[in-house]
């Protein structure tokens, strides 16, 4: 804010309009006042002004010189005549003799009317300007300290001082509160505001700039909740309950919703199933009678152990939401039927599910250190929203008439045996889509269809055999429904349930003899087996006799030997196989006659036979296949040999004796073989039970010794370089979110514990990104946290500034921003308290040395020791009081008793004062009063014949 320079009193100048001089006299004076800025003693300054005649006739103008000698009007004559419409210029000379502000005036008269021109001489001064409004805008109530800077600029020629104070009740700090702004420079003032709760902030701070009146600095902010909302897909109303209705066991159903970040800051969120919430129902039939429910308590207990993440899931279940961003999430409900419950399935059987999902932000936690006395900031500020999920699982109930075992009437090949079959859907809530896979020798009409709720369908089963034999077939019925894909974001029509039917039947064959004509003396002793085949109709049998061969050494009627052919390798055909023998394609087989050893003729059709090149190619391919199979066999044998060589370390005796104690747990001792990746799948939800179990396991592995500041091993470097997801960061607990050091002394170190729990099976790198000077005595700000372990960090706070302290710092996990910690304290001077500010001394004995004594107690209510010193105050009448000990130290949260004595005497004052000086602390006064009455007692006695008078001095206390 720019204000006129100078420090003249408000009453020294007359308020006026800028056009007031000469306005009623048809006279214009420009400028209306003359200011001599930055004037110093011994210098001469000149300023001019113009007088313009606005009238229609000539005017006689008279000038009156200033009264003070520092101002001089440079005119040869004080009376001037100015024609109409013309103007004249006059000059004023200013030569100050002192470095102080001076004011005077020049009087201009026209007849009986007059006007004045103020003259102001100003010494060099500061000219400070500051912004009047500090607007933080819209903030999130997450207990984070926000910073704004305003600038004080000095446009003057001398340094200027300022002072800023805020006396409100909100967490607002201004630093520095006072200072000096150099010439032609600026100074930044920091305004800190802690957004602890939702509110509309419009506060005023008092700012005093040198040579300027007091002004108000407006501090504004609009603090809102950081709310995660679930909205409907069709409108922007909040979604509190998601109902899936009835779903068959083994199928899935999808629902959509929108997650909304209703805040001006980005937020990392994660979804968690509350599998230990009050009101949860997991596989319970809420409509059954009480006695039936009590009888099925064993089954209900088994259902409680089911993994709830297999029943309900949402995709995505973690992520980052930008300010006011909305994204679509998909909920998938997939009820499962356990084997223990299948025996109790009936028409009214169902399992009702009520599950609760919690969507919350990722950040610091308050589960370890909670400050109940700290009321200003809410410790649990992480916003969350809850969604109830309701659904029911029902089984597929089909009734078959005449049953699951179907016996078809025996029939012949080409005939058909039929059975009428009825399928009824006993479920009154959902239809059933069925499908019969094809099976040989059986036909089903229709093969697939739909059965509505409580309806039935007729199916025709037919047995149409194509071969002889006894048939016992399992016919499956596939129940088709919507099954979730692997990504849990889409559904596909797939079989989810199978019901088997037993088909039994026989295919008979008619018996018919085939009469063979024989020629006497020619028919061989060995008959062809084809003569005994029973066929339905010999005229319809058009298949040729197969090639039947056997070794010629088995049976031979004649003993003729062929030339050049080995009798051992000769094959003997059956009778009537001449055509088949001639048409044999294997050139390496040799045949002879049935009754003689003469080789038979082997016919080769060269149009269809393989060429020599094709035969070699076939041999080459066969060789390649043989080589490849041998290679695979060798690899298999090597792997099997390696597995056989492995052995357990427990089988080796290393000679350890019993009774050895395990060493203390440290980082080096817990470097165990743990999986390097998180066991939580991408689409699998976190559960409150699993988090509690991991937390309990991690708390048992406390790290006491010093932690590494940087990863050193290969495993640590690999783990600490991984990019963690919000779900993984949520499993690294850093808390509390508020480090409240309370009332502490200035320049005294104080320690608070920051707890860290790593529930992940990998190393994580925790870094505290703080540049606060008050926390610089902390040993280190980077830590490598081992897998599945917990530890604490000692945060040391020391402040040289008195007052309220509100600052926050952020922390990262694997270089990913993961939250912030608020540090708060009330820094005070070292102080002592007196048991009483006034001490009355009364007699406590008969000896004059111990006659008047009293005690006063010093209390130290703070956490650091305080050094003190008693200093008596001499009021002019002397010092008769003394304190012991005169100086010393009072330890933290303790007290010390000091003894005050008074030395009686004729000139001893009955009152005294002591100043209690505390080193780098407060000062107290102690007033001491001795209650005494001193009077003279006169007496007479005779010494011989003389009367002698005496005076006794008595000191009597007032009780």
* DSSP secondary structure of 334-389: -----GGGGGG--TT--EEEEEEEEEEE-S---SS---TT--SS-S----EEEEEE
Residues of the chain with CATH 2.60.40.10: 27-121, 128-224, 228-370+380-394, 398-508, 708-828, 833-937
pLDDT at 956 over 60: no
Distance CA 285, CA 303 (A): 12
CATH number of 27-121: 2.60.40.10
* pLDDT-above-90 percentage for the chain: 44
Is 459:448 a contact under the CB 8 Å cutoff?
no
Distance CA 126, CA 181 (A): 9
**pLDDT of amino acid 888:** 92
Q: Which fold has domain 833-937?
A: Immunoglobulin-like (2.60.40)
CA angle 190-192-197, nearest 5°? 165
Query: 229-256 pLDDT, tens per residue?
Result: 999 998 889 999 999 999 999 999 999 9
**pLDDT of amino acid 589:** 65
**pLDDT of amino acid 122:** 87
Residue 678's pLDDT band (boundaries 50, 70, 90)? very low
CA-wise closest residue to 312 among 818, 683, 700, 858: 683
Q: Hey, how many other C-beta atoms are within 10 angstroms of the C-beta on 343?
A: 7
pLDDT at 492 over 70: yes
Distance CA 194, CA 198 (A): 11
CA–CA distances in Å: residue 768 to residues 706, 741, 791: 16, 18, 15
Is 760:790 a contact under the CB 8 Å cutoff?
no
DSSP letters for 846-912: SSSTTSEEEEEEEE--SSS-EEEEEEEE--SS---EEEESSEEEE-TT-EEEEEEEE---TT--SEE
Mean of pLDDT values over 760-767: 94
Query: 396-411 pLDDT, tens per residue?
Result: 999 999 999 999 999 9
Is 144:822 a contact under the CB 8 Å cutoff?
yes
CATH number of 128-224: 2.60.40.10
Select the highest-mean-pLDDT range: 25-39, 378-392, 473-487.
473-487
pLDDT at 521 over 90: no
Torsion of CA 643, 644, 646, 647, to 10 degrees: 140
Query: 608-620 pLDDT, tens per residue?
Result: 778 888 888 989 9
Q: Which residue has the tokens 């009623």?
A: 24
Residue 6's pLDDT band (boundaries 50, 70, 90)? very low
897 torsion bin: left (phi>0), alpha (psi -120 to 50), beta (else):
beta
Give 708-828's CATH code, choosing from 2.60.120.10, 2.60.40.1170, 2.60.40.10, 1.10.357.10: 2.60.40.10
Residue 77's pLDDT band (boundaries 50, 70, 90)? confident
More confident residue, 786 or 306: 786
SS3 655: coil
Q: Which CATH architecture has domain 398-508?
A: Sandwich (2.60)
Give me the sign of the Cα torsion angle 912, 917, 918, 923: positive
Helix (H) or strand (E) holding 689: helix 688-700
Lowest mean pLDDT among 35-39, 255-259, 305-309, 641-645: 641-645
pLDDT at 514 over 70: no
Mean of pLDDT values over 575-586: 50
Give me the sign of the Cα torsion angle 917, 918, 923, 929: negative
Mean of pLDDT values over 752-769: 93
**pLDDT of amino acid 366:** 62
Q: Hey, how many other C-beta atoms are within 10 angstroms of the C-beta on 742?
A: 13
**pLDDT of amino acid 18:** 38
Mean of pLDDT values over 68-89: 89
**pLDDT of amino acid 588:** 63
Lowest mean pLDDT among 54-68, 497-511, 685-699, 942-956: 942-956
**pLDDT of amino acid 306:** 78
Lowest mean pLDDT among 6-10, 448-452, 468-472: 6-10
* pLDDT-above-70 percentage for the chain: 75
CA angle 62-65-71, nearest 5°? 150
Query: 709-757 pLDDT, tens per residue?
Result: 999 999 999 999 999 999 999 999 998 889 999 888 988 899 999 999 9
Q: Mean pLDDT score of the chain, rounded to an integer?
A: 80
Lowest mean pLDDT among 198-202, 405-409, 655-659: 655-659
Give 228-370+380-394's CATH code, choosing from 3.40.50.300, 2.60.40.10, 3.40.630.30, 1.10.238.10: 2.60.40.10
Mean of pLDDT values over 369-379: 41
Helix (H) or strand (E) holding 936: strand 933-943
Contacts of 765 (CB under 8 A, 6+ apart): 710, 711, 720, 782, 783, 784, 785, 813, 814, 815
Query: 626-654 pLDDT, tens per residue?
Result: 999 999 999 999 888 887 765 444 444 44
Torsion of CA 436, 440, 443, 448, to 10 degrees: 20
Phi, psi dihedral angles at 632 (to 5 degrees): -65, -35
SS3 126: coil
Is 747:774 a contact under the CB 8 Å cutoff?
no
pLDDT at 108 over 60: yes
Distance CA 832, CA 264 (A): 47
**pLDDT of amino acid 14:** 35
Is 140:221 a contact under the CB 8 Å cutoff?
no
**Tokens describing residue 425:** 């859907």
CA–CA distances in Å: residue 622 to residues 209, 616, 626, 636: 103, 10, 6, 21
CA atoms within 13 A on the CB side of 550: 11
CA-wise closest residue to 813 among 848, 845, 766, 772: 766
pLDDT at 461 over 80: yes
pLDDT at 475 over 60: yes
CA atoms within 13 A on the CB side of 30: 8
């Amino acid at each position: 804010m720019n204000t006129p320079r100078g420090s003249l009193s408000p009453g020294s100048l007359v308020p006026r309009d800028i056009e007031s001089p000469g306005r009623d006299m048809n006279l214009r004076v420009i400028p209306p006042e003359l200011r001599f800025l930055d004037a110093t003693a011994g210098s001469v300054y000149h300023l001019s002004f113009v007088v313009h005649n606005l009238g229609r006739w000539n005017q006689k103008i008279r000038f009156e010189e200033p009264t003070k000698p520092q101002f001089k009007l440079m005119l040869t004559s004080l009376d001037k005549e100015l024609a109409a419409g013309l103007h004249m210029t006059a000059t004023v000379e200013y030569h100050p003799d002192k470095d102080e502000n001076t004011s005077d005036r020049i009087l201009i008269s026209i007849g009986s009317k007059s006007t004045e021109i103020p003259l102001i001489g100003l010494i060099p001064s500061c000219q400070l300007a500051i912004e009047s409004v500090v607007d933080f805008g819209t903030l999130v109530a997450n207990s984070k300290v926000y910073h704004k800077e305003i600038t004080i600029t000095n446009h003057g020629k001398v340094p200027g001082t300022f002072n800023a104070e805020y006396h409100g009740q909100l967490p607002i700090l201004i630093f520095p509160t006072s200072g000096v702004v150099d010439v032609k420079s600026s100074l930044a003032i920091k305004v800190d505001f802690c957004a602890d709760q939702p509110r509309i902030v419009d506060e005023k701070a008092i700012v005093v700039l040198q040579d300027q009146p007091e002004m108000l600095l407006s501090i504004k902010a609009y603090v809102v909740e950081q709310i995660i909302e679930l909205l409907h897909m069709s409108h922007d109303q909040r979604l509190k309950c998601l109902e899936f209705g009835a779903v068959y066991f083994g199928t899935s159903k999808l629902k959509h919703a929108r997650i909304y970040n209703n805040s001006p800051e980005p937020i990392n969120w994660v979804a968690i199933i509350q599998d230990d919430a009050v009101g949860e129902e997991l596989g319970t039939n809420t409509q059954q009678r009480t006695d039936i429910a009590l009888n099925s308590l064993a089954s209900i207990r088994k259902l409680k152990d089911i993994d709830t993440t297999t029943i309900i899931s949402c995709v995505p279940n973690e992520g980052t939401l930008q300010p006011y961003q909305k994204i679509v999430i998909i909920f998938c409900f997939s009820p499962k039927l356990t084997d223990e419950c299948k025996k109790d399935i009936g028409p009214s059987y169902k399992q009702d599910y009520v599950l609760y999902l919690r969507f919350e932000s990722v950040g610091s936690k308050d589960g370890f250190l909670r400050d109940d006395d700290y009321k200003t900031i809410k410790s649990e500020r992480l916003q969350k929203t809850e969604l109830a999920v309701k659904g029911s699982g029902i089984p597929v109930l089909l009734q078959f008439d005449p049953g699951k075992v179907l016996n078809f009437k025996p029939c012949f090949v080409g005939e058909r045996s039929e059975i009428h079959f009825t399928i009824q859907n006993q479920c009154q809530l959902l239809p059933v889509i069925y499908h019969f896979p094809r099976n040989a020798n059986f036909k089903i009409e229709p093969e697939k269809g739909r059965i509505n709720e409580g309806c039935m369908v007729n199916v025709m089963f037919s047995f149409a055999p194509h071969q002889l034999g006894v048939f016992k077939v399992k016919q499956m019925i596939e129940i088709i429904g919507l099954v979730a894909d692997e990504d849990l974001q889409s559904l596909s029509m797939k079989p989810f349930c199978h019901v088997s039917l037993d088909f039994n039947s026989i295919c008979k064959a008619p018996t018919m003899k085939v009469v063979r004509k024989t020629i006497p003396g020619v028919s061989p002793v060995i008959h062809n087996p084809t003569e005994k085949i029973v066929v339905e109709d010999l005229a319809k049998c058009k298949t040729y006799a197969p090639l039947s061969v056997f070794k010629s050494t088995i049976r031979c009627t004649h003993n003729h030997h062929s030339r050049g052919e080995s009798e051992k390798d000769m094959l003997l055909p059956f009778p009537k196989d001449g055509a088949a023998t001639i048409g044999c394609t294997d050139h390496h087989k040799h045949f002879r006659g049935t009754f003689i050893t003469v080789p038979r003729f082997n016919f080769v059709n060269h149009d269809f036979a393989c060429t020599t090149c094709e035969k070699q190619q076939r041999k080459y391919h066969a060789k390649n296949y043989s080589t490849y199979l041998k290679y695979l066999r060798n690899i298999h044998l090597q792997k099997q040999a390696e597995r056989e060589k492995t052995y357990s370390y427990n089988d080796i005796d290393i000679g350890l004796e019993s009774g050895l104690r395990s060493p203390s747990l440290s980082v080096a001792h817990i470097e165990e073989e743990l999986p390097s990746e998180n066991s939580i799948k991408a689409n699998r939800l976190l559960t409150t039970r699993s988090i509690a179990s991991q937390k309990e396991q991690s708390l048992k592995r406390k790290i006491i010794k010093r932690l590494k500041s940087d990863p050193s091993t290969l495993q640590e470097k690999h783990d600490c370089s991984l990019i963690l997801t919000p779900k993984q960061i949520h499993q690294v607990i850093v808390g509390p979110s508020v480090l409240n050091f309370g009332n502490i002394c200035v320049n005294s170190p104080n320690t608070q514990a920051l707890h860290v729990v790593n529930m992940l099976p990998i190393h994580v790198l925790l870094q505290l990104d703080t540049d606060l000077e008050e926390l610089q005595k902390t040993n280190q700000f980077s830590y490598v946290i081992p897998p599945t372990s917990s530890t604490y960090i000692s945060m040391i706070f020391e402040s040289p500034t008195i007052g309220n302290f509100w600052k926050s710092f952020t922390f990262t996990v694997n270089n990913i921003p993961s939250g912030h910690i608020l540090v708060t304290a009330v820094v005070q001077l070292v102080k002592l308290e007196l048991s009483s500010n006034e001490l009355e001394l009364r007699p406590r004995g008969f000896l004059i040395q111990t006659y008047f004594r009293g005690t006063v107690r010093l209390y130290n209510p703070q956490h650091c020791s305080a050094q003190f010193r008693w200093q008596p105050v001499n009021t002019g009448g002397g010092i008769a009081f003394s304190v012991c000990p005169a100086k010393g130290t009072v330890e933290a949260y303790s007290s010390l008793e000091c003894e005050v004595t008074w030395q009686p005497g004729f000139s001893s004052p009955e009152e005294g004062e002591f100043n209690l000086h505390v080193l780098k602390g407060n000062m107290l006064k102690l007033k001491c009063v001795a209650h005494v009455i001193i009077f003279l007692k006169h007496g007479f006695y005779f010494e011989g014949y003389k009367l002698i008078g005496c005076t006794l001095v008595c000191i009597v206390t007032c009780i």
